[in-house]
Amino acid sequence: MSGRMAALRILLQIAFRDLFASRAKTLIVGGIILFGAVLVVVGSSLVDTVDAGMRASIQGSLAGHVQVYDARSKDPLALYGSMMGDPELTPFEDFARVKSAISAVPGVKQVVPMGLGTAMVSPGNLFDQAVAKLRADVRARLAGQGGPELEARTEAHAAHLRRMATLLRDDLRQATEIIEIGGKEAAERARNAEDLARATSPEFWDEELPRDPLAALEFLENRIAPLALEGTLIYIRYVGTDLEQFRRAFDRLEIVEGSLPPPGQRGLLIGKLYAEDYLKLRAARRLDQLQEAITLHHRKIAGDEELTRWVKEAGGQTREILMQLDPMQAAEAARRLRTALGSGEQDLGKLLGQLLAVDDRNFAERYRIFYGELAPMLQLYPFKVGDAVTVQGAARSGYTKSVNLKVWGLVQFKGLEKSGFAGVMSVMDIDSFRELFGWLTPEARAEIRGLKAAAGVKDLSREEAEASLFGSAPAAPPVVTGPVAAAPPGPAAPEQPHPLSREAGEGQGGGAATSPSDPDQGVALNAAVILDDPRHIPQAMRDIVAAGDRAGLHLKAVTWQEAAGMVGQFVTLARLVLYVAVLIIFAVALVIINNAMVMATLQRVTEIGTLRAIGAQRRFVWAMVLVESVSVGVAFGLVGSAIGAGVVWLIRAAGGIPATSDRMYFFFSGPSLLPRLGAGSLAVSLTIVLLVSVVSGLYPALIATRVTPLEAMQSGED
Amino acid sequence: MTRILLALFLLAPLPARALTPDEVKRVVQTVDERQRNAGDWRSLCYMEAKEKDKTDVVYELTVFRRSADQKFMILFDKPRSEQGKGYLRIEKNLWFYDPAVGRWERRTERERIGGTDTRRGDLDESRLAEEYDAKWEGDARLGAYQVHRLLLTVKPGVDVAFPQIRLWVDEATHNVLKRQELALSGKLMRTSLYPRWKKLHSESKKGDVWFPEEMRFYDEIEKANQTLILIKSVDLRPLDPNLFTKAWLEAKSR
């Protein structure tokens, strides 16, 4: 043993002597190893931290520890959607059965029903929205309600519509002056002008509207509203769930504004990021983006193509603002802007143009004026917390379903606030999800079966239809009498009102109460499973599938990462990129070390030959070269790892790496990334370095063992 | 030999004579005219739609029409969950009403009625001559029927569900037996079959009104999707004058 130690000491002495003797070579080889070690330590610390952050965010917001869905589903579960949109999942028709089976698995703490989907809200154009308000006033009057408050409201709504019609009339006049058209389009334009003249006339508002309000409203809706700007369709990605269970299971849920619907109440919580990025008044949104770019990222409008475009887009949105204001509000807004801008301009449109023509010098002031003076008079979002909105869903079984839902608040998931995938997610109560999904109760299914049976229709596929239907001409002409051909002419029988279905009445007004039944009774698309101990995820997944099999269910259990779809794959992708970079660096290192060692070996042929001549075994020579390459690797690898650890510590001490974009915000699971140095990162770094050193030393060592004393003497003679 | 050849020549079917543009126009006008009512219309329909991997959709609905000002309305009667929903066409506006939420929404001509493969035009009066320019493509056989095949292209500025239509019109009766709807690119979107036609006498028209008793629509994009409509009864007596209003449709659900 002591002999071996002595040999090792000699080998090390030779190695370090050689390394010092050829410092340049040692520094080049060592530098590459050092850089690789730093990269492995820093890179893996960063990726590990991102991984841990995203795991916590995704588990704590939507996924839980394990997600379960029906194994017969066409698509894999993707909580944040996939490139192809929402995955098509086979629903759990009776979630209670699923929950009962999963809950029996040891270690399962909670099973939360879920249904992911995309709903639509169609607010119509601004004119449609304003007519709807006046229609509600008229309905209230017709229903016998009255009072000064209703009078004042009706008057304000009518004045707003009249102003909008005036703006549209002015637009049309301007368009007519600019472009001359002929033919059918000219006739159409003339008719529009006539309609707008009527819609802005005192007779219409003072006489026609009070005399026949419904007819006047229909004129506005059918002839004037189509001339206004096109309305937008708002798409809302949501998770339908039992809100109580969801709140208990996911601690990352954060109510930014408003509150959770009270127990037993239906409702919708809109994703905060979605509200900001997609719903906000466009001019305001562009100003916000400019503000963020200028103050946070220190960009300048001048010379920045993107910021210049945003300024132009904000300035092009004055019509949207003008249409929102009734005559009194418009006068007040103009007064405020004149004072704030120090302008003598009377026209509100031009004042808005002045306000939104921002540059680097005036931006801060104009931004303050917009939010301080104008924004309080505007509706910045199509709906606000507390409003009831009509939400539509393209039902899986059946046609589009609609429900009125109260917007109870704005939500975000801590750590995923800025994620374009997760931050836009809204939350909805499970009953509303089931209604939008078009879930048919057993009674509804029976009714449809009955209707089909009564119709007695023969199913014909596309292929057989033509032959079956037109294969032979009818022997006689078609029946020449109709069902009422012989009936005497005269007015039809008076219509009987349709009895309204129970479902129809329930949705009225929004914020309706959920049914008192168990929220687990009914359809769900997937379930989030929370475990007592997240370390047992693989075992729990196996147990859940087995429990499903025993219960005759087809359960598929996936981890949070798999369930997160594209989002979950980002960490894997980041790790892959790191590994590829490391692989390339160490492959280069391997080649360089190998070459350098081969050169060094060839230069030391005399020395090696002499060693062989005085009795050194091939094994000793082999070890000598190998120890040299391993020594340089280990020495520089250790230094590199230490530097890497220092870099990680410095990044932490400096407050982490700040996220400068939404995407980075998401990767960092917050506003900055505070990397943590793990023992794993160091171990991986050293292992890789050692491996590379050994492998790169093998070939030169082999060459060295082939050197004989004779060769040494011959080389000395040269 | 010459005789045989002459006999064969005489017995061989003559190539179809192309219809002149005027004749084509007349065929399309006849198609419209036979279905024109010149008064009010009320029909009870059964509608059934099948889509891949989905539960069948079944409705019973009433269609109301008024020829004088091209008014059109659909009211859903069954099943209970759909009761009271309706479409109302006033001029160029197609409105949809859902009593469950008490809201009206503006829809387009491309709206799939009740989520099926039916469009408003399938249940409305035929206005092909007014909306499209027609061209003769050839004469052919469709099963046991001898038919004219026509290609219709939408006129500029007209809002329709499909910009191109190919028709198979029965030469004997001038009833449409088959119809293909195409996108602007020429891509086939939907095929419709009309195997059974009925007629009844209309007092307002002082003549017969024809209607397809059965319509089958086959989606050519999603091949597994199909819709069937049966017109169960038709009533041509005058309707309530205030019928085609939002207030009337709303009142049906109160």
Q: What is the pTM assigned to this prediction? A: 0.73
Q: What is the distance in angstroms between the CA of the first residue and the CA of the last residue of chain A?
A: 41
Cβ-contact B152, B62 below 8 angstroms: no
In the block, residue with structure tokens 């005497």: A488
Å from A240 to nearest chain B CA?
Answer: 19
Residue B76 confidence (pLDDT) above 90: yes
Does B239 contact A at CB distance below 8 Å? yes
Q: Compute the distance between CA of residue A387 and CA of residue A407 in angstroms, rounded to an integer.
A: 6
Does A482 score more than 60 pLDDT? no
The verdict on a CB contact (< 8 Å) between A483 and B116 is no
**DSSP-derived 3-state class of residue A300:** coil
Nearest CA in chain B to A396: B54
* pLDDT exceeds 70 at position A611: yes
Residues of A in contact with B114 (CB under 8 A): 399
Residue entry with tokens 């002149």: B20
Q: Is B116 on the interface with A (CB under 8 A)?
A: yes
A411: closest CA of chain B, how far (Å): 25
Structure tokens at B74: 């659909």
Please give the DSSP secondary-structure letter assigned to residue A38: H
Say yes or no to pLDDT of A478 above 60.
no
Res. A124 pLDDT band, cuts 50 70 90: confident
C-alpha B180/C-alpha B189 separation (Å) is: 8
Comparing CA positions, the residue from B58, B85, B81, B86 lying closest to residue A444 is B81
CA quadruple A706, A710, A713, A718: dihedral positive or negative? negative
Distance from CA of B8 to the nearest CA of A (A): 28
Predicted-complex ipTM score: 0.85
pLDDT tens profile A485-510? 333 434 444 444 333 223 333 333 34
Average pLDDT on A405-411 reads 92
Put simply, the chain B residues between 40 and 59 with a CB less than 8 A from any chain A CB are 42, 46, 48, 50, 53-58
Query: Quick one: DSSP state of residue B14?
Result: P
Assess B252–A contact: CB distance below 8 Å, yes or no: yes
pLDDT of A712 > 70? The answer is no
Mean pLDDT of the region A651-675: 79
- Measured between alpha carbons, how far is residue A354 from residues A312, A343, A541, A640 in Å? 12, 9, 62, 58
Question: Do residues A23 and A583 touch, judged by C-beta distance below 8 A?
Answer: no
Q: Taking CA A282 as the corner, what is the angle to CA A280 and CA A283, rounded to the nearest 5 degrees?
A: 120
Output the CA torsion sign for B49, B55, B57, B58.
positive
pLDDT above 50 (res B189):
yes
Alpha-carbon span A574 to A584, nearest angstrom: 16
* Amino acid of residue A559: T
Top-confidence residue, A711 or A707: A707
> Does residue A2 have a pLDDT over 70?
no
d(CA A59, CA B160): 49
- Of B122, B74, B65, the closest CA to residue B98 belongs to B74
Paired strand residues for A462: none
Q: How far is residue A412's CA from residue A275's CA, in Å, rounded to a whole number?
A: 11
Contact A462 B223 (CB under 8 A): yes
Asked whether the beta carbons of A678 and A692 are under 8 A apart, the reply is no
**pLDDT reported for residue B176:** 93
Q: How close A131 comes to chain B (CA, Å)? A: 11
Beta strands in B143-243 (DSSP E): 145-154, 164-170, 176-182, 188-202, 207-219, 226-235
Nearest to A110 by CA among A263, A239, A240, A250: A250
Q: Sorting pLDDT into bands at 50, 70 and 90, what band is A583?
A: confident
Query: For residue B21, how many C-alpha atoms fall within 13 Å in the half-sphere facing its CB?
Result: 1
Helices and strands (H, E) in chain A, number of each type = 29, 12
pLDDT one-digit tens code per residue, B24-43: 999 999 999 988 888 899 99
CA distance from start to end of chain B: 84
Distance separating alpha carbons of residues B78 and A574, to the nearest angstrom: 55
Q: Ranked by mean pLDDT, which of A30-39, A50-59, B23-32 comes out on top?
A: B23-32
Reading the block at residue A558, the tokens are: 């996936």
Q: What residues are paired with A528 via a beta bridge?
A: A67, A112
CA distance linking residue B245 with residue A135, whole number of Å: 13
* Residues of A with Cβ-Cβ distance to B54 under 8 angstroms: 396-397
Give residues with Cβ within 8 angstroms of B124, minimum separation 6: B65, B72, B89
